[in-house]
Chain A
Amino acid sequence: MATGQAQKLAKWALMPSVAALSAWAFIPLALTFYFAFLRYNLQDPDNTGWAGFSNFYYFFKDPFFIKDLINTVLLVAGVIMATVVGGVLLALLLDQRFWGRGIVRLLVISPFFIMPTVSSLVWKNLILHPVFGLTAEIQRWFGFAQPFDWFGKLPLFSVGLIVAWQWLPYAALILLTALQSLDEEQKDAAAMDGANRFNYFRYIVLPHLSRPITVVILIETIFILNTFAEIKVTSVGGFAGNLTYLVFSQLNDANDVGMAAAGGLIAVVLANMVSALLVRLVGKNLET
């Protein structure tokens, strides 16, 4: 009985924050929903009224839609692959005992604290730039007269590189904490059982990491679906744009609020579908 009352009280006590959170999530979504069915183009302000589903129709028909959808998927999948594999390797490395480990760990985490716009600028102008960049300098040192133009030739890969650089620390950090929670006696037991280093990794460490890897995949999917700054700052939206970028360009280049809102909704629905699919596929790992 006491618990019943306490639960009731807890419900009431939670109400204000639940209300605030719902409003916070709901109002923008509701407005987007509303705009998506309006004729609402800033270049044609007199043409108003309900648009029915035409905004959605034209968003799908947009010549960039399919390409940007594919880019979105490639970007998410590629970055996750790179950060999970790289994160596991980095975590294994950081788990070793070596001199200056504390400092190195701090340095490894740092990319995560840099704003996407800033890191994009650094990558664009200081590292990958075909004339002033670090990679260009290295290539010239090796005797290439015409250094490789990363953003020109491999725009999506370059964006992925920047995003992966930002997310690698996150993956490594999560996986490192998981590694450290691995019971030392398991290592001893595996050694007694005749497992060499590879088998120890394959049969003991990797299964132990499956749960944190699932978490990394889920979180990264949600965030990387929304990649925008890296594409905008490096000006490769025309080639490596994703759905988020397409929504932006509807609004910014075409000034079509209604179409952008429709695109936003489509993106939300797609993101939810991907997440639901992922949760089904890998979420099993999170049980028990």
Chain B
Amino acid sequence: MGSITLDHVSKTFGGHTVVPDASLTINDGEFVVFVGPSGCGKSTLLRLIAGLEDVSGGRILLDGRDATTEGPAQRGLAMVFQSYALYPHMTVRQNIGFPLLMAKLDKAEIERKVQDAARILNLGDYLDRKPGQLSGGQRQRVAIGRAIVRAPKAFLFDEPLSNLDAALRINMRLEITELHQQLKTTMVYVTHDQVEAMTMADKIVVLNAGRVEQVGSPLDLYRKPANRFVAGFIGSPKMNFLDGAEAERYRAHSIGIRPEHITPTRDKGRWHGRIGVAEHLGSDVFLHVALDGGLGHLTVRTPGDMAVSHGDEIWLTPDDSRIYRFDKAGLALDHTS
């Protein structure tokens, strides 16, 4: 009860193609995250699924039924917006109950379901307030409450946490994951925060300029990116890329090495370079190193509290079993390991 299939869906805004051709299957109960750079069409794709935009081509299936021409209400999905889109003149109770009122449920039934949702989301004390009197996190919860009351087939989230501060974001991230465990309802979640993507998703969909670049579990994408774009997008700090002679040695057009797969040493190693900025995070150090001979710049992540500072010389050695090789078009060549 909640599978979503995109079948060669395309979307054009007045001659400007935003989604050229997207096909995708989301299984019932899955937590799927759409990631991609700004403007790549994540929101558009979500709105197409929601029915808030009409497709220009292709079909959208919900539970195997063709829903392409159905309106947003008929599809039985719920959406949480980035700006929350709460109704400012209604109380929290009325906001959460609104979808039920529209579904013509009777008063007692609405009240019961609103109370249930409020309990799940810890909103009990705020039911009579207006959205303007709530904090960002509470508003977010009301928006989620409005989504869960009518037991939708799937939830659609469009960057729901991007307006919250860092601490609250981590909190809400856990709450939403917890909610998914509880409800076991399909969730489609748009973000460009890749920590959210990695930690929350069962399945990540990486989008680039409206194209689906790769679909897979977070670890799949981390271990076996299909191309340079995905490799560069998943992982933090970003993967390093080298081309030219160094890549030739691995019989590739370019190679990628993750910062955490490089070992820095004082006396000897593969490459010699000079440290630019060293970012000490306590648990880790991020070194930004300029290689000798114009080979390029590498970011290195090393655990602990290595005492290094700006201008120090350093030797770097990659873990040869974890080098990613790419051809001229940026596609991944089979893994060296």
Q: In the complex, what distance in Å separates the CA atom of A122 from the CA atom of B60?
A: 59
Q: In the complex, what distance in Å separates the CA atom of A185 from the CA atom of B102?
A: 18
Q: Which residues of B146-199 are within 8 A (CB) of A?
A: 146
A-B contact count (CB 8 A): 61
Q: List 7 A-B contacts (CB under 8 A).
A: A186-B85, A188-B72, A191-B72, A192-B72, A193-B146, A194-B99, A204-B87
The 8 A CB mask of B38-82 against A (1 = contact, 0 = none) is 000000000100111000000000000000000111000111010
CB contact under 8 A between A207 and B71, given known A185-B81, A189-B81: no
Q: In the complex, what distance in Å separates the CA atom of A208 from the CA atom of B86?
A: 13
Given contact pairs A186-B85, A189-B87, enumerate 4 new A-B contacts (beta carbons under 8 Å).
A191-B51, A191-B71, A192-B72, A207-B89
Question: Is the CB–CB distance between A183 and B99 below 8 Å?
Answer: no
Q: How many residues of B contact A (CB 8 A)?
A: 25
User: For residue B51, which residues in chain A have a CB less than 8 angstroms away from its CB?
Assistant: 191
The 8 A CB mask of A170-194 against B (1 = contact, 0 = none) is 0000000000000101101111111
CB contact under 8 A between A191 and B102, given known A183-B85, A203-B87, A208-B89: no
A121 adjacent to chain B (CB < 8 Å): no
Residue of B nearest to A285 (CB): B89
The 8 A CB mask of A193-213 against B (1 = contact, 0 = none) is 111100100011001101000
Question: Is the CB–CB distance between A199 and B79 below 8 Å?
Answer: no
Q: Which 4 A-B pairs have the closest CB atoms?
A: A194-B73, A189-B85, A185-B85, A194-B102
Interface of A is mostly: helix
User: For residue B286, which residues in chain A have a CB less than 8 angstroms away from its CB?
Assistant: none
Contact of A189 among B77, B79, B132 (CB under 8 A): B79
Contact of B77 among A190, A192, A208 (CB under 8 A): A192
User: For residue B86, which residues in chain A have a CB less than 8 angstroms away from its CB?
Assistant: 189
Residue of A nearest to B86 (CB): A189
Q: In the complex, what distance in Å separates the CA atom of A193 from the CA atom of B52?
A: 12
B83 adjacent to chain A (CB < 8 Å): yes
Chain B nearest CB from A286 CB (Å) reads 13
Residue of A nearest to B74 (CB): A194
Q: Which residues of B95-127 are within 8 A (CB) of A?
A: 98-99, 101-103
User: For residue A190, which residues in chain B have a CB less than 8 angstroms away from its CB?
Assistant: 87, 98
Binding site for B on A (CB under 8 A): 183, 185-186, 188-196, 199, 203-204, 207-208, 210, 288
Q: In the complex, what distance in Å separates the CA atom of A142 from the CA atom of B81?
A: 56
Q: In the complex, what distance in Å separates the CA atom of A199 from the CA atom of B104?
A: 12
Question: Is the CB–CB distance between A193 and B83 below 8 Å?
Answer: no
Question: Is the CB–CB distance between A193 and B81 below 8 Å?
Answer: no
CB contact under 8 A between A186 and B87, given known A191-B52, A192-B52, A192-B79: yes
Question: Is the CB–CB distance between B102 and A195 below 8 Å?
Answer: yes
Q: In the complex, what distance in Å separates the CA atom of A190 from the CA atom of B81?
A: 12
Contact of A193 among B47, B89, B98 (CB under 8 A): B98
Question: Is the CB–CB distance between B79 and A188 below 8 Å?
Answer: yes
Question: Is the CB–CB distance between B78 and A192 below 8 Å?
Answer: yes
User: For residue A188, which residues in chain B have a CB less than 8 angstroms away from its CB?
Assistant: 47, 50, 52, 72, 79, 81, 85
Q: In the complex, what distance in Å separates the CA atom of A193 from the CA atom of B72?
A: 8
Q: In the complex, what distance in Å separates the CA atom of A208 from the CA atom of B77?
A: 26
Q: Which residues of B3-55 are within 8 A (CB) of A?
A: 47, 50-52
Q: In the complex, what distance in Å separates the CA atom of A191 from the CA atom of B88?
A: 16
Chain A nearest CB from B117 CB (Å) reads 14
Chain B nearest CB from A208 CB (Å) reads 7
Q: In the complex, what distance in Å separates the CA atom of A268 from the CA atom of B42?
A: 62
User: For residue A210, which residues in chain B have a CB less than 8 angstroms away from its CB?
Assistant: 89
Residue of B nearest to A189 (CB): B85
Q: In the complex, what distance in Å separates the CA atom of A203 from the CA atom of B99?
A: 12
Q: In the complex, what distance in Å separates the CA atom of A194 from the CA atom of B77?
A: 10
Q: In the complex, what distance in Å separates the CA atom of A186 from the CA atom of B90?
A: 12
Question: Is the CB–CB distance between B83 and A183 below 8 Å?
Answer: yes
The 8 A CB mask of B281-317 against A (1 = contact, 0 = none) is 0000000000000000000000000000000000000
Q: In the complex, what distance in Å separates the CA atom of A213 from the CA atom of B85?
A: 23
Q: In the complex, what distance in Å separates the CA atom of A194 from the CA atom of B78?
A: 10
Q: In the complex, what distance in Å separates the CA atom of A199 from the CA atom of B73?
A: 13
